[in-house]
Structure 1
């Protein structure tokens, strides 16, 4: 039952307490009445005794019914105010009976008088302990009982002895009323605290519900944001992928200088867009908790060489010397996360440092290993070295020459979040005008000399020497096929391009060493299914690279389980070439070893 005010709650709980305790008191009235009738049977008229006992027993039974019924109603959280009033009425009527006994039915035998006084005193003490929550009723009942008994004592004992006995009885009543008030106050305070606790619990429940609703709204908003980013990313990646491949396939040199300049700017813009999409993908995966950590022994040299192959064209466009320092270090790390960290650091150096040299290498500090990216560019002011790891923060150097390089300021923020997710740190040391050094670590070294075939899902190691092979391109986008075939021809590979492949086409084409297929082909066909069918037809040695604009974690997991390489659109030429060289280097020896000699 709900209560509007604290007073209503206290009154309700007081009624409930009195009714609950009264279930164990009503028997006292009946037993006491029976004992009185027995001891006084020879002293007073049986009629008077029977009437008095009937009075006491009847109202005691009525009080029992009221107490049990009222308690049942309180347990069901129903109103019980009327039951409390009825109980008070029966208590007053029973007090009249006890008062009449103390005044009218007093035998001349002193022992019997003491016995009756003991019964009345016991009832008063019991009532004070059980009925104090109804203090007004307690006062009325004591006034009906004790003064009558005291008056009888004064009448029967004239003089000083009677006055002293009567005064002692009145003093006893005062003590009982004082004790009752103390218990009444204590009980009310307890109920008041219970009310405050209940209100506080209600407030906490309301606040918890508000927090749940706010959290749900935030999660829905975050999901909507991620869904929007994923959908927008998917819709934009597809055309940019084709444009990027077509632009990358254009000849590097042209007699027209302005044409060369325009082409260089277009390539830089497309490269910046590709990095932007990679940043949005990283942010989405981090925000939605889809970046999984899988640590394993990894050789750093292939991972760094793969990054070099990816960023070498962009560095060449900017006339920057990008170097990788050879290393034999093996560390226990999630190769995919470390690869993304390295890529972001190199991209940041290319885009913002204005350096002419960038060096990537490994440094040992005692038993610890740190991966470092150095540049000899403009440097970073001391007061901005912490800010650059925040979202959308970019370095501002007063009086520095303006640049056309743009960015969202997410690259280093993503680096910091990826590193924190892996349990490592990213730090920076810099001097204005002399350059900067970004260090990632400490990385746990391992003596395991095994090198992972693919340091990440998206990028693999560069082989010792260039490898060429026969490559199939399966893509229903004509622009993507055209751009990719031009690049393959430029890189010295033979190829066969087609919008779709079916098993009945097996006799029409030469067996592939590598298949590059789009994830989502026309008519609902899946690149994964097509790759599986090609491997069943030509053998498991056929390497597969899947290209997609779909950033869903289920897609990444499916490709990982199938053992293929995954590239997200728009694919940069260096990224594509590194993946092709790695797959051909790892698969062609396997194919040769399985062919009959």
Structure 2
């Protein structure tokens, strides 16, 4: 009655309701005529906030406009544990010949079961995010140690057979690291830490560079990769677009063994269409709707990890959506597939006669070594710490090490007394006794009264941790870390 009767009082019993006067629907301004139809009940909106104002039917009468699909929760009683019935209410006013409202037609659907499923789904999604973050972190620690140790092992003089095994171990670890990076990408995207940075992009140059890179991989697999790239320029984020296209190309080459792949672009009205074709195994109709889901893979029922983790297409779709585009697929089982990325096309003239950027890579390579630069290493895992010390010293850095925040503070005191403050702090995020690498960096900077460069290592990919690290004034590397990337990061950090 409180929801459907246009004469019912306001939810908060203060705003005035609607009532019948002389057979007509009219505003009720006299509180004495309000009927307490909401006694013993509480009304809440879809977000759990207590409702105020008019019920849907009364609102439709007062405004003369329909109220469509208003979600209302009805709680019987004031107890915190009182059950809630969820309703979807619509009310449409019916006008008389004079243009006034003579009746209201309302419909109510009980969606309590739907809301319960929605609640359970949100709980499951939260649990999934926590599991992925925890699993990613716990796996990254041993993978990091193995990756560093295998790199050091390959620098030794080994028999041919042992060297082949060591190289295979490092290759397998690289594949595992790629899978963990895929999980990290999902966490970053869901945490909202990736934002597009649009700029003029020469699409032909970007595709040509991708073609040059993937052609060697295709040739190695006995495949051919053809490029069709007319001169088109648009404004988008080159890095995010490139990542999405890399995933599509990797996917096409994986599922077209010994076959042909085409990478091309064309104009379709005011849209830019980038397409990746292959004549591979194709996708069955029942799987088309699932291929963009996390962890879903076609033709890998045994979950062979050499075939990836099933995140490439999921990440590609998220990235393309962020760029304001859509990604679509058409496929024929046994004949191949076509993935299409459609983006807004904005043709731009290159300012000053220069070419638009084609992918966001810095030109040239960094040079320089670690001669006479002192690094304070803070890492609680003894195996990883040992491997890092050996690697840093091999790069000609001087290294002092600590296994906790307390040890780092004692170490800093000794360095200050010796007149040798560190040039850089390389710290793991999670340290014993609730200390973090960020706290160690803050401590060192306060003691030295200057901004000491920092590089933070972490295997933690939770959304909260990513947001915290993103706001820190330091470089951030996620385990497992490739030695070359670590070296480049150190050189860049020490170079300001």
Checking the alignment, whether the CA contact within 8 Å between 2:453 and 2:474 is kept in structure 1 is yes
Q: 1:346 to 1:410 in 2, by over 3 A?
A: same
Q: 1:480 aligns with which of 384, 400, 411?
A: 384
- Say whether 1:466 aligns with 2:386: no
Write the mapping of 1:242-261 to structure 2, written as runs, cut at 5 A: 242-251=145-154, 255-261=158-164
Q: 1:479 deviation in Å? A: 1.5
Query: TM-score, structure 2 length as denominator?
Result: 0.55
3-state DSSP of counterpart to 1:520? coil
RMSD of the TM alignment (CA)? 5.6
Q: Which residue of 2 aligns with 1:419?
A: 320
Q: 1:570 to 1:465 in 2, by over 3 A?
A: closer
Write the mapping of 1:209-220 to structure 2, written as runs, cut at 5 A: 209-220=112-123
Q: 1:406 aligns with which of 302, 307, 313?
A: 307
Structure 1 residues not aligned, in runs of 5+ = 3-19, 22-71, 78-192, 398-402, 450-454, 591-597
Q: Which residue of 2 aligns with 1:116?
A: none
Q: 1:267 aligns with which of 160, 170, 176?
A: 170
Query: TM-score, structure 1 length as denominator?
Result: 0.47
Q: 1:216 deviation in Å? A: 1.3
Checking the alignment, whether the CA contact within 8 Å between 1:345 and 1:438 is kept in structure 2 is yes
Q: Deviations over 1:508-555 (max 9, x none)?
A: 585555432211222222211222344452743x43221112222232
3-state DSSP of counterpart to 1:498? strand
Q: Which residue of 1 aligns with 2:415?
A: 506
Partners of 2:332 and 2:178 lie apart in 1 by 27
Structure 2 residues not aligned, in runs of 5+ = 3-19, 22-31, 38-102, 352-356
Q: 1:496 deviation in Å? A: 1.1
Checking the alignment, whether the CA contact within 8 Å between 1:253 and 1:260 is kept in structure 2 is no
- Say whether 1:549 aligns with 2:459: yes
Q: Which residue of 1 aligns with 2:83?
A: none
Q: 1:223 deviation in Å? A: 1.1
Checking the alignment, whether the CA contact within 8 Å between 1:393 and 1:410 is kept in structure 2 is yes
Checking the alignment, whether the CA contact within 8 Å between 1:549 and 1:568 is kept in structure 2 is yes
Larger relative strand fraction: 2
Larger relative helix fraction: 1
Partners of 2:449 and 2:266 lie apart in 1 by 46
Partners of 1:577 and 1:268 lie apart in 2 by 15
Q: 1:342 to 1:291 in 2, by over 3 A?
A: farther
Q: Which residue of 2 aligns with 1:333?
A: 237
Partners of 2:222 and 2:420 lie apart in 1 by 41
Q: 1:510 to 1:584 in 2, by over 3 A?
A: farther
Q: Which residue of 2 aligns with 1:581?
A: 488
How many pairs were matched up? Answer: 369
Q: Which residue of 2 aligns with 1:532?
A: 442
Q: Which residue of 1 aligns with 2:399?
A: 496
Checking the alignment, whether the CA contact within 8 Å between 1:515 and 1:543 is kept in structure 2 is yes
Q: Deviations over 1:287-342 (max 9, x none)?
A: xx4235533246889xx9xx99xx99xx8xx8999x9x9x9x8954285x557536
Partners of 1:586 and 1:355 lie apart in 2 by 44
Partners of 1:529 and 1:334 lie apart in 2 by 35
- Bigger mean CA deviation after superposition, 386-395 or 256-265: 386-395
- Bigger mean CA deviation after superposition, 267-276 or 218-227: 267-276
Q: 1:497 deviation in Å? A: 4.4
